[in-house]
Amino acid sequence: MSPEKTWRVEVAYATPSRQEVIEVSVPPGATVEQVIRASGILERFPDIDLARQRVGVFGEKVRLHDPVRDRERVEIYRPLVADPKQARRDRAVRGGKKIGGRKKL
């Protein structure tokens, strides 16, 4: 592939202890899944399950078969550890205090 006929796309994934952003060159028309596989990130993080985890481009949810564009960042999202609605309810019961954080004003 010649440089003029490829697009540069980043793939990002993070765990609580590690973050990876990998740049890959792909042909125009490549899909989100093709970019992820080309990045090698699945080998670096074997716990990634594309059948279950959501993916996005710059924070917007996309599907694996959606095409990417030049200079986009594909993000692989981890499942939530806690339900955000339940966490807010729990804080309200505690009087607005966050455990290990600042008190809400």
76-83 long-range CB contacts below 8 Å, 24 or more apart? 76/11, 76/12, 76/13, 76/36, 76/41, 76/48, 76/50, 77/53, 78/13, 78/14, 78/15, 78/53, 79/52, 79/53
Q: What is the pLDDT of residue 96?
A: 62
Question: Does a structural domain hold residue 95?
Answer: no
Containing 43, the helix (H) or strand (E) segment is helix 41-44
Identify the helix (H) or strand (E) that includes residue 39: helix 32-39
Q: What is the reported pLDDT for 12?
A: 98
Confidence bin at 70 (pLDDT 50/70/90): very high
**Do the beta carbons of residue 42 and residue 36 sit within 8 Å?**
yes
Residue 77 lies in a domain: yes
SS3 86: helix
Name the pLDDT band for 63 (thresholds 50, 70, 90).
very high
Q: Is residue 100 part of a domain?
A: no
Distance in Å from the first CA to the final CA of the chain: 56
Average pLDDT score over residue span 25-34: 97
Residue carrying the six token digits 């080309």: 38
User: Please, which pLDDT band fits residue 100 given cuts at 50, 70 and 90?
Assistant: low
Which is nearest to 24 in space by CA: 90, 68, 87?
68
Q: Is residue 96 part of a domain?
A: no
**What is the band of 21 on the pLDDT scale with cuts at 50, 70, 90?**
very high
The answer to the question of residue 39 being in a domain is yes
pLDDT at position 60 is 96
**Domains held by the chain: number:** 1
Q: Which domain holds residue 47?
A: 3-84
Q: What is the CATH number of the domain that holds 71?
A: 3.10.20.280
**Percent residues over pLDDT 70 in the chain:** 87
44 part of a folded domain: yes
pLDDT tens for 71-89 read 999 999 998 777 778 878 8
